[in-house]
Amino acid sequence: MLFPLIVVGFWLGGCFLISCMGWRWFARKYPTGDRGRMQPEGTVHLVPSVKFEFVGSYRNSVRAVITKEGIYFSVPFMLRVFHAPFLLPWTSVRRIRKKAGFKQRGKRLIVEVEDEEGPIRLLLSKEMEEDFLKYYWPQKPKPIARRAFPKDQPQENPEGESVGATVGVAESANENENKNANPGAGIDAEVEVNTIPATYPSLFTIVGMGMQAGGSSGAKAPPVSVGAPVPVSAPVSVGAPVYAKVNVSAPIPAAAPPPMPVPAPVPAPAPAPEPTVSFYVPKTVPVTVPMLATITATVAAASATLMAEPRS
């Protein structure tokens, strides 16, 4: 009678000690409630190896069912004491990696779980691997999309002031009637300027624009012709809406482009001096006929004188 009690005592003590290695804490944190007595639908896989912490190891004794909510763990009836089933959510699964070292046939992937209750390493079989990859998708951080300019804020110019304008064009009734008779008839353009930048007053150089500050009454200024001066009764502040109705039938001359600078004339380089060659030319004396006769007579006289002198 004592031996069966000792065996039962050892069995209960062993189940309690093994559960304290990690299973018990996961079963407390992720209880299945009423579903603990009913296994969820799905294929039941026999896990080759499950390791809690560093010492709580289960080999071919844990059953797992892969569901959309997570991984359902349970054990056979012989180890059910102190081993309540639990459903591990997918948020606790951190990574999946290939098994290093000697690889058994059909067992190559290891699932690593990181939770507040401790780590779990789960070795997947080939059948369990296919079922596992149907539901597990690694969560990758997505970059937050940001707009260059918020939708409810106007764009700013380099001077730091808001710029925005809305332009609407509408044809009057008289112009519609006379459109065929007078093709060159003008079009009344309603220009609604939401904000006038203070640093760009030259952009609004249309002299014939009728201005009405404020805009609370909603009345529009009568159409005026281009070139007619329009008095402004109230000062227009920057940012106040301004309404104007301008007849733009007459062409507005475009601003003449600035004159191009004329480059200064470049003086031509001085010509190089021509090379000169100097050589000696002997001076000759022209001989005339009288001079030749004189020379001949002189030579003849000298010869006669020499011939007449006696020889010694």
Check whether residue 8 and residue 123 sit in a common domain: yes
Check whether residue 24 and residue 91 sit in a common domain: yes
Q: Give the rounded percent of residues in the chain with a pLDDT score beyond 90.
A: 4
pLDDT at 256: 78
295 within some domain: no
Give the domain CATH number at 35.
2.30.29
272 within some domain: no
Check whether residue 116 and residue 169 sit in a common domain: no
273 within some domain: no
- Return the amino acid letter for 86: F
303 within some domain: no
Check whether residue 95 and residue 195 sit in a common domain: no
pLDDT at 32: 80
Cα separation, 104 vs 277, in Å, equals 109
pLDDT bracket for residue 64 (50, 70, 90): very high
Instruction: Calculate the average pLDDT of the chain.
Output: 67
Check whether residue 129 and residue 44 sit in a common domain: yes
Check whether residue 110 and residue 167 sit in a common domain: no
pLDDT bracket for residue 252 (50, 70, 90): low
Check whether residue 9 and residue 80 sit in a common domain: yes
259 within some domain: no
Region at 176 (left for phi over 0; alpha for psi -120 to 50; beta for the rest): alpha
Check whether residue 40 and residue 120 sit in a common domain: yes
Among the three residues 228, 251, 274, which one is the final residue of a domain in this structure?
251
146-199 pLDDT, tens per residue?
Answer: 555 445 555 554 444 444 444 343 444 444 444 444 444 444 444 444 444 444
95-115 pLDDT, tens per residue?
Answer: 888 876 555 555 678 888 888
pLDDT at 196: 42
Among the three residues 221, 251, 281, which one is the final residue of a domain in this structure?
251
In the predicted model, what is the mean pLDDT of residues 201-227? 43
- Return the amino acid letter for 48: P
Among the three residues 230, 251, 272, which one is the final residue of a domain in this structure?
251
Check whether residue 107 and residue 192 sit in a common domain: no
pLDDT at 117: 84
The answer to whether the CB of 234 falls within 8 A of the CB of 188 is: no
Strand partners, 283: none
pLDDT at 195: 42
Query: How many structural domains compose the chain?
Result: 2
299 within some domain: no
The answer to whether the CB of 227 falls within 8 A of the CB of 208 is: yes
pLDDT at 292 over 60: yes
pLDDT at 65: 92
Check whether residue 108 and residue 221 sit in a common domain: no
Check whether residue 114 and residue 170 sit in a common domain: no
268 within some domain: no
pLDDT at 304: 81
34 within some domain: yes
Cα separation, 249 vs 284, in Å, equals 97
Domain holding 172, by residue range, is 162-176+183-251
Distances (CA, A) of 180 to 43, 124, 175, 184, 226: 82, 84, 9, 9, 23
Check whether residue 106 and residue 197 sit in a common domain: no
Model confidence pTM above 0.75: no
In the predicted model, what is the mean pLDDT of residues 255-273? 79
Cα separation, 309 vs 240, in Å, equals 143
pLDDT at 253: 66
Instruction: Name the residue with higher pLDDT: 71 or 231.
Output: 71
Cα separation, 293 vs 91, in Å, equals 146
pLDDT at 284: 57
